[in-house]
Structure 1
Amino acid sequence: MAYSFSLNTRLHKTITGLLVIWLCGCLLTTAVYAQRIQTAFDVKLLARGLNHPWGMAFLPDGKMLVTERAGRLRIVAPDGRISEPVSNVPAVYHEKQGGLLDVALDPDFTTNRLIYLSYAEPVKTSDGTIASTAVARAELDGNSLKNLKVIFRQDPKTQGGQHFGSRLVFAPDGNLFITLGDRGNHMEEAQNTDNHIGTIIRIRPDGSVPDDNPFVNDKKAKPEIWSYGHRSVQGAAIHPKTGELWIHEHGPRGGDEINIPKPGKNYGWPHASYGMHYSMIPIKDEHAEQGYEEPIYYWTPSVAPSGMLFYTGGLFPGWRNSLFVGTLAGQHLIRLSVSENKVLSEEQLLKNTLRFRDVEQGPDGAIYLLTDEDDGKILKLVPAAN
């Protein structure tokens, strides 16, 4: 059944004071700083009770697939009903940032029913469990997966539960981008192309390597690599006009970046960043003079970005072609106005509210948000009623 209440947060052209969130009979009041909101919207609560949801993808019938980091895949109906866990999901390494992560539909889903899952894949050794990001594809058959096949494994597997990435994005040419992380304690390997640490991966949907990948003829490099020198990329989206991949990645203490990764290019981590190491050791912020690519935009202090969307819908004409980024540490939703390859302005929405793990556009043109918490929620942004 549908929820009989909504999260009625109405933001008008100028907000000063309190943001009042009504959730299931509990009144929560959160301070909101004065800010200019150019588009009025309401926030409705579609569903709740998900355990640290991570990724979502809309099915053709309006339902959505939602991952829970603990290793469960759910189907959520348009009225908010949550299914029992989908069966035959691969086993995951559920530690710290590891678990079941992103989900994406095959471009030909309506005919082949294929979906793709990224996750931290565990392997037990005599020294303990090691893990790395893996991607599997399978056919969605009702509330079950069948014919599951792993099409990519990050090499090497290492100990630790940090920095797995990982978003899945299909490019207009049908190839699949996979974003990865440096696995925390292996940051120096992000400068080496003989492994997958700290890289963006580009493969065909069956896991094979496109002939025009930048390192396909380099016998010392991994042929799946598109770009390298990344820290932990948890947001990715295709620009609606250029067809290029845009990403954002976590910096250490400051220096979260937006990049447009070019084939074969090095983005500098851990030798260049606008942040500093957690040990307070500074990092050179000069990228270009060290031979690295400069980010097109960055945040200091960190907002901990997660989820990324170019909005192309019709519900919010004033937001069309804006870039939306969810934040974890920042606990707000960012809207960026962009022109060509430049960010022109930043607008912060829903300030000081919740940790937003993912942001997606629904087939109805609404914007959907996942909240990262034990009682994870799906929120829906729609035009203001008045």
Structure 2
Amino acid sequence: MFNIEEELKLLPDKPGVYIMKDKSDSIIYVGKAVVLKNRVKQYFQNSRNHTAKIRQMVEHIDHFEYIVTDSEVEALVLECNLIKEHRPKYNTMLKDDKTYPYIRVTVDEAYPRVLFTREIKRDKSKYFGPYTSAAAVKDIMDLLRKIYKIRTCNRNLPKDIGKERPCLYYYMGQCDAPCQGFISQKEYRRNIDQVIEFLSGNYAPVVKMLEERMNEAAKQMEYEKAASYRDLLGSVRQIMNKQKITHTDRVDRDIIAFARSKDEAVVQTFFIREGKLIGRDHFYLTGVEDETDSQVITSFIKQFYSGTPYIPKEIFLETEPEEEEVLGRWLSSRRGQKVYLHVPKKGGKEKLVELAKKNALLILNKDAEKLK
């Protein structure tokens, strides 16, 4: 028989994670603590200071477990993992568990490839993203293949040069067939460098090149070829228009703001890479009715960044999160470099947060209209 009063006396004064369970042994809440003894005891003391949700949760606690960790950061990591795995009833939950597509350039290979991926590995490849649409990534990759004629095969080059016939893309004019030795490694690498420039948001060289080729083809009365360059130019400009310049400092950052109503919140995130807005997405959090704004943003940061493979250098927020210092240390350890959490107070950076807030509010209002 589990005696809560007796078990509370045995709690250690160490950091860790506590797991609340009901009579059926289901996990109903997971939390972390700097000192387990102090934090867990608070739930069973005077309930007047508790929110309605916490009072309801305490009523359903039949027993609890805990896991001691070496540090508060380690406790935070474990808390994130347990919440994601068990989705406890009384935790504020992120509804959408999305994985975003990235573009991977295998620069460590003799003849690098441009690949679609949903995970970032600790390898020597260069990664670009996240993109919010797999279709958009495939369109970009298709465009890069047409412009720069980059290989798509899995052949081991230069080892396999000349062993098989070239693929269909060569005959379509969309690959220079390095598998046949039809392009030197030096020239191929030059094309890859231009691909990286393009993916980094420097479109001027490719626009200039396509315009020159289009004009030259028209001068030579090769109108079909000129039309194909015109179409490629149009595709490049479409991508340029979507990736609006926001800052000239070329820093990677996420912009996060939210709007809330009753028990639900909509969180809007803008993804800025190399100073350009490359995508945006929104997420739903449930169980927020009794939460402060700081608690809502903290829950989102924990759940979102425990699942995403890339952490930017800066994260702009509309309100300061709880446990800002430990969150910063955790994010920095995941990134492998210092991560800065900011609440901008003026200028263009504050306006970006305000824009994210307006978008979140717009989505929340639209959802409310649908439910009427």
Same fold (TM over 0.5): no
Calculate the TM-score normalised by the size of structure 2. 0.29
- Structure showing the higher helix proportion among its residues: 2
Calculate the TM-score normalised by the size of structure 1. 0.28
Larger-gyration structure (1/2): 2
